Amino acid sequence: MPEMPELEVYAENLTTLLAGREVRGVQVLNVFTVRTADPPLSSIVGHRVEVVRRHGKRLVVSLDGPLHLVIHLKLSGRLRWHPPTTKLNRGTGCLKLDFDRGSLHMTEASKQKSASLYLVRDLAACPDLDRGVEPLAVSLSRMKELLTAENRQLKSALTDQRLVMGIGNAYSDEVLFAARLSPLKLTGRLTSSECEALHGAMQRVLRAWVVRIRDKAAGGLPTEQADWRKEMKVHGKFKGPCPVCGGRIERIAYADSETHYCPGCQTGGKKLSDRGIDRLLRR
């Protein structure tokens, strides 16, 4: 799933690509992608794009009018820029927006079509809009206040969009590794020094990855996230060596995601219970 660093670069490069351009046409292949009916999506034709920005895990395309397209790419949604004559792929295509010099295609590779687009006049009226704080803007004191308000596992809190926006499964692993904190540590037990370490790691890791993805995208849209995520230190590295201590990277498997961590660096050498393996052994 595209997370904060990828979406930040999406927003930057889409603004460069689309700002000032008029929408010439709209085509929808997957009707379930468009989640609003009033105003109709066709009403954006003739309007010009003003800016594209990131809001949590969503992209907001603001047009004159004012109108706002709110896009959530979910797990496998992507945005791609094509020449104006390129047809929308019948297998993966959701919709396309036509401009004078090209077309923006929204695609989704997964069979479970969950990517969404809302068209609203008032951004505040968009359903399910993330309400947490921005990870690069939140202060240390506010971060500590949010985390310690409830006693819950740290990985769960860090990926809760009602608390911190934009961080998902992959980057939470990298942040917790950099902070040397267990993903299962309870937030109510965080010390001041641990909160400071987490806040600092979040800032460093996310900023570094924005720069890295910006360089790799080279002005284009960052659609090939699987390629550069191979450079992550722990996420996706199960059974591989820790780049710091050399120990084996372990994981906790869930129904639709995995948490990766280094026992030597994050849990005092303790291997955390893997629920998927535990269930298998019980059977």
Per-residue pLDDT band at 77 (split at 50, 70, 90): very high
- CATH number for the domain whose boundaries are 4-125: 3.20.190.10
More reliable by pLDDT, 112 or 21: 21
pLDDT in tens, 182-231: 999 999 999 999 999 999 999 999 999 999 999 999 999 998 877 778 89
d(CA 201, CA 266): 13
d(CA 241, CA 172): 19
Collect all residues with Cβ–Cβ distance below 8 Å to 239 and sequence separation of at least 6.
248, 249
Per-residue pLDDT band at 275 (split at 50, 70, 90): low
All CATH 1.10.8.50 domain ranges of the chain, comma separated, are 140-282
> What is the enclosing helix (H) or strand (E) of 264?
helix 263-266
pLDDT in tens, 124-155: 888 878 889 999 999 999 999 999 999 999 99
Sign of CA pseudo-dihedral 259, 265, 267, 271: positive
> In this structure, what token pair is assigned to residue 1?
């799933």
User: What is the model's pLDDT at position 39?
Assistant: 95
Cβ atoms of 11 and 59 closer than 8 Å? yes
For residue 43, pLDDT beyond 80: yes
User: What is the model's pLDDT at position 110?
Assistant: 83
- Say which CATH class 140-282 falls into: mainly alpha
Cβ atoms of 186 and 152 closer than 8 Å? yes
All CATH 3.20.190.10 domain ranges of the chain, comma separated, are 4-125
